[in-house]
Amino acid sequence: MSLTPAAEDLLRELAPQVLGALLRRYGTFDSCEDAVQEALLAAALQWPAEGLPENPRGWLVTVASRRLVDQARSESARRDREDRVALATPQSALLAPAADLDAPAGDDSLALLFLCCHPALSRPSRVALTLRAVGGLTTAQIAAAFLVPEATMAQRISRAKQTVRDGGADLRMPTPAERAERLGEVLRVLYLVFNEGYTSTGGDDLTAPDLSAEALRLTRLLLRLVPDETEAAGLLALMLLTEARRPARTGPAGELVPLADQDRSRWDASLIAEGVELLEHTLPLGRVGPYQVQAAIAAVHAEAARVEDTDWPQVLVLYDLLEQLDPGPMVSLNRAVALAEVAGPEAALAVVDGLATDKRLTRHHRLLATRAHLLERLGRTEEAATAYAEAARRTSSAPEQRHLRDKATLLGARGTARSGRP
Alpha carbons 373 and 356: distance in angstroms, whole number: 15
Contact 207, 198 (CB under 8 A): yes
DSSP-assigned states of every residue in 218-274:
HHHHHHHHSTT-HHHHHHHHHHHHHHTTGGGSB-TTS-B--GGG--GGGS-HHHHHH
Q: Is 354 part of a structural domain of the chain?
A: no
Residue 173 DSSP class? P
pLDDT of the chain, 422 residues: tens digit per residue: 677 878 887 888 888 888 888 888 877 788 888 899 899 889 988 998 888 899 999 999 999 998 888 877 764 544 555 455 544 544 444 434 444 444 444 447 778 888 888 888 888 888 888 888 887 778 887 887 676 788 999 999 999 988 888 876 666 777 777 777 788 888 988 888 888 777 755 555 545 567 788 889 889 988 987 888 999 999 999 999 999 999 999 888 888 899 999 999 999 999 999 999 999 999 988 789 999 999 999 999 999 999 999 999 999 999 999 999 999 899 999 999 999 999 999 999 999 999 998 888 877 889 999 999 999 999 999 999 999 999 999 887 788 889 999 999 988 776 555 555 55
Task: Write the burial class of residue 368 (CB in 10 Å: 0-12 exposed, 13-18 middle, 19+ buried).
Answer: buried
Contact indicator for 244, 268 with CB cutoff of 8 Å: yes
pLDDT value at residue 208: 57
Q: What is the pLDDT of residue 259?
A: 92
- CA separation for the pair 74, 82 (Å, rounded): 7
Cα Dmax for the chain: 87
Q: Is 202 helix (H, G, I), strand (E, B) or coil?
A: strand
Coil, strand or helix at 396: strand
Task: Tell me the C-alpha distance between 185 and 119, whole Å.
Answer: 9
**Residue 59: which domain range?**
1-105
Q: Which helix (H) or strand (E) holds 6?
A: helix 5-26
The answer to whether position 311 is within a domain reads no
Q: What's the domain count of the chain?
A: 1
Asked if the structure places residue 360 within a domain, the reply is: no
Q: Is residue 18 part of a domain?
A: yes
Decide: 21 and 96 in contact? Cβ < 8 Å.
Answer: no
Report the candidate in 372, 386, 350, 349 with the shortest Cα–Cα distance to residue 258. 372
CA 339, 240, 189 angle in degrees (round to 5)?
85
Distance from C-alpha of 228 to C-alpha of 285, rounded to nearest angstrom = 10
CA–CA distance, 62 with 333 (Å, rounded to integer): 52
End-to-end CA distance of the chain: 61
CA angle 243, 233, 248 (to 5 degrees): 10
Q: Is residue 319 part of a domain?
A: no
- Cα separation, 119 vs 164, whole angstroms: 10
The pLDDT of residue 92:
40
Q: What is the pTM for the complete model shown?
A: 0.76
Return the SS3 of 49.
helix
Q: Is position 59 within any domain?
A: yes
CA 245 to chain centre: 16
State residue 3 phi and psi, 5-degree precision. Answer: -65, 145
Residue 303 lies in a domain: no
Nearest-10 crossing angle of helices 29-50, 79-88 = 110
pLDDT for residue 169: 67
pLDDT value at residue 111 = 81
Position 378 in a domain:
no
